[in-house]
Amino acid sequence: MAQKLIYLDNAATTPVDPRVLEVMLPYYRENFGNSASRNHQFGWVAEEATENARKQVAAVINADPKEIIWTSGSTESNNLAILGAARMYADKGRHLVTSLIEHKAVIDPCKFLQSQGYEVTFLQPDNKGRVSVEQVREALRPDTVLVSLMFANNEIGTIHPIPEIGALCHEKGVLFHTDATQAFGKVPVDVEAMQIDLLSMSAHKIYGPKGVGALYVRRKKPRVRLEPVIYGGGHERGMRSGTLNVPGIVGFGEAARIAKEEMPAESKRLAGLRDRMWAGLSEHLTDIARNGDPQHCLPNILNVSFLYVEGESLMMGFSDIAVSSGSACTSASLEPSYVLKNIGLGDDLAHSSIRFSLGRFTTTEEVDYTIKSVVRTVNHLRAMSPLYEMAQAGIDLSKVEWQHH
């Protein structure tokens, strides 16, 4: 019998929790109304459902339900936050601050704004992937309108000092946006305590459906206003027009409710599995490195570089285990991960890195099987690698002069 596939790519997407699917189904059939149809029962039922989901999502981040704007996912939320704020506050200034290891859904809108005459400072994180509050302070200028820094990195799991950065931005009167796609529902997030003005989140990272997300937009102290990116019937406080994806939103709400309730136990369990995996790999393999910040990190992501082996061939060696090298959004190209390169890893290390991301349905047995499988594959590939042989013989590979024909 074929070994069943093991899924360890939960940072890319998660399976829909059966409890979530169950709550969604009626909104495809009996309760199929448009939440903007204000003059009959079908519309009222749909509207009530989306308002209930708003409460459920808001509760996870300590926000007011009125501050939740529905979107199609974090990519749209990031675009609405960054482009919307930059255009709305262009009279105040045209400078933004972000980092080199943000998700492309933050970097690309920032680059687009650069082409429109805005200035963007891209901060360089430390070798663990963290940007310090001092770096942000030094980057701020009188014309800075927005700081956008992710809550936790999607490839290495490192968490930025969000509360300190939020406090600094508020003190300086600059808006603070955080892409919390990976953190939402996994680690505590509090927009009030952390002084966050805009926060992006997505359902499919927390066992909800794909294609639905939200943007938190602060309503007071300060009241944040955004120029829309999508125009239409003025839905979602005028910030995001379009008929709401009612079944998706209902699913997002339920996924958020479950995540909030199960977070303390779930985070502990996942951190235990992640540590078990790292311990197992380091016990049986030399020349491996854990990427990211082991102190400030998500419970479910483990990113490891295996020296002298190539990430793609490694993944082929354990093809019954779904993992990723780099992030799902950019892995169509064989370029080494820009996140790893920007925290100072050379191409060789960046190319030999694997991200294991654990999830709600990951078991201890799967982790143990993965450790064995990875150890076996790495040993097998290294046995065939002349580089590994030279390194074992004490030759410093960085000083080797290779022949070029």
Annotated catalytic residue 297: no
Residue 306: which H helix or E strand, with range? strand 301-306
Q: Which residues contact 183 (CB under 8 A, 6 or more apart)?
A: 151, 152, 159, 189, 298
Residues forming a β-bridge with 144: 95
Q: How far apart are CA 257 and CA 53, in angstroms?
A: 9
What is the DSSP-derived secondary structure letter of residue 205? Answer: G
**What's the half-sphere exposure (Cβ side, CA atoms, 13 Å) at 191?**
32
Select from 71, 36, 35, 49 the least CA-distant residue to 181. Answer: 71
Question: Of the residues 110, 169, 297, 329, which is catalytic?
Answer: 329
Q: Let me know the angle formed at the C-alpha of 7 by 100 and 76, rounded to the nearest 5 degrees.
A: 40
Neighbour tally for 264: CB within 10 Å: 10
What DSSP string runs through 320-368? TEE-BSS-TTTTTS-SPPHHHHHTT--HHHHHTEEEEE--TT--HHHHH
Beta bridge mates, 302: 356
Q: Which residues are catalytic?
A: 329
